Amino acid sequence: MSTQPALLSADHLSKHFPVRGALGRTVRTIKAVDDVSLSVYRGETLAVVGESGSGKTTLGRVLMQMESATSGRVLYEGVDLTALSERERLRYHRTMQVVYQDPFSSLNPYRTALEQVMEPLRVNDPDADNERRALDALAAVGITGSEVYKYPCSFSGGQRQRIGIARAVSVRPAFVFCDEPVSSLDLSVQAQVLHLLADLQDELGLTYLFVSHDLSVVRGISTRTAVMHQGRVLELGPTCDVFEDPRHPYTKALLAAIPIADPRLAREHHGPGWQERVVYDGGDRGGTLVEVAPGHWVAGGQGDSGNSKEGIAKDSGANKDDGDGGERVEQRSIPT
C-alpha cells in the first residue's frame, strides 16, 4: 500500500450498460465495470490489463467522468466528482487528459499539428500565448520546424501518436488516461513512444492510468498492475509482484498466454496456426480482495494468504460478490 495520497480513486464503482431487445425493453445488462475500488497515486503508473471486453476502457472513461457511473464514487483528491454538477466538473477537465489508442481517428484531419495542440490550450485559457505553448509541447515530443504545419495524413502512426500526446500534456494535466496508446504501432515505434511517455512523466510529474492488453508493454512501464476480468479486478499489486508471483489463477493463465515473440519457437510450442487464449469462468465469483502480501491484493484470497487481511482497503480493487470462489481456469489452443 502506498503512503502517497491518492490522486484519483474508484470507490465501489460500477458501470452497467442495458442491452435492449426489439421492443426497447432491457433484456440483459452488461456489467462493464462491476464494483471496483482502487486508487491511482500521484506520480505512479497504474496499469490495467485484461482481455478484450474486460472493462478496461470503461473503467478509465468513468474515472475521467467521460461516462457517468451507474453507482459508486470517483474521488479526485478526495472530491467526489460524481456528486458535482456538469459546470463544477469542468474545473477538473484540464487536470485529466486522454491519449487514445488510434491517433488517426483522435486527430482532426483538417487541422495542422500546431492547431491540434493549440485547441485544448485555447479552450483552457484563450488569452495566453497558446502558439508558444503548443510549439513547446510539440518540441517536447519531437515534432519541430515545418512539421508543425503539416496535417495528420502526412505523419507516420508514431508521429501522430506523439501529436496526440502533445495535445494531452500541453495543458499540464495531473492525470493522463493512456488507453492502449501503443497497440496500433510497430514494435520499434512502440518502444520510442513508451520512452517518451516515461520521460514526460518524470519531467511533468504526471500520473498515468495505463490500459493495455499487452502484458509485456505493461511490465516495462507500470508501477502497479490491476488485472480485470468481466468488469472486476481480480488481482492488484506492485507490477513485479503480479508478474513474478501471480496469485490468482486467471492472472497466472493470462501470463502463461503471453505470445512468444519468435515465430519459430511459438510454432514449436503451440503447433502451426494455433494461438493461445485464456478461458476463465470464475469471474462472477471473484470474492472480496484480500491482501496476500504487502500491497498485493487478490480476489478471494487466492494463494498464500499468510498474514492476509480481509476486507476492502481504500486503495485496493474490490469485488464484493460473495460467491463460492470456485474458479475454473484453462488454457486452450484455438485454431486461428
Burial class (CB in 10 A: 0-12, 13-18, 19+), 107: buried
Helix (H) and strand (E) counts in the chain = 11, 14
Least separation in angstroms between residue 19's CB and Mg ion is 18
Q: Nearer to ligand ATP by C-beta: 214 or 245?
A: 214
The interface with Mg ion within residues 49-78 (CB under 5 A) comprises 57
Adjacent-strand bridge partners of 334: 275
69 or 293: whose CB is closer to Mg ion?
69
Rounded CA-CA distance 58/209 in Å is 12
Contact 141, 192 (CB under 8 A): no
Q: How far is the CB of 96 from Mg ion (least distance, A)?
A: 17
> Cell 502480501, residue?
293
First to last CA, the chain: 41
Q: How far apart are CA 95 and CA 243, in angstroms?
A: 31
| Cβ nearer to ligand ATP, comparing 94 with 213 | 213
Q: How far is the CB of 53 from Mg ion (least distance, A)?
A: 8
CB of 59 to ligand ATP, least distance (A): 7
Q: Please report how close the Cβ of residue 235 comes to ligand ATP at its closest, in angstroms.
A: 15
Q: Could you tell which of ligand ATP, Mg ion, none binds residue 55, using a CB distance below 5 to 8 A set by kind?
A: ligand ATP
Give the C-alpha separation, 271 to 258, whole Å.
Answer: 16
Q: Does 184 participate in binding Mg ion (rule CB under 5 A)?
A: no
Residues of this chain that interact with ligand ATP (CB under 6 A) are: 17, 30, 32, 50, 52-58, 213
Q: Which amino acid is at 182?
A: V
Q: Are strands 289-293 and 71-76 parallel, antiparallel or unpaired?
A: unpaired
Contact partner at residue 17 from Mg ion, ligand ATP, none, CB < 5 to 8 Å by partner kind: ligand ATP
The smaller minimum CB distance to Mg ion, of residues 176 and 290, is found at 176
Amino acid at 107: L
Instruction: Indicate the residue among 130 and 222 with the shorter CB distance to ligand ATP.
Output: 222
Contact positions vs Mg ion (CB under 5 A)? 57
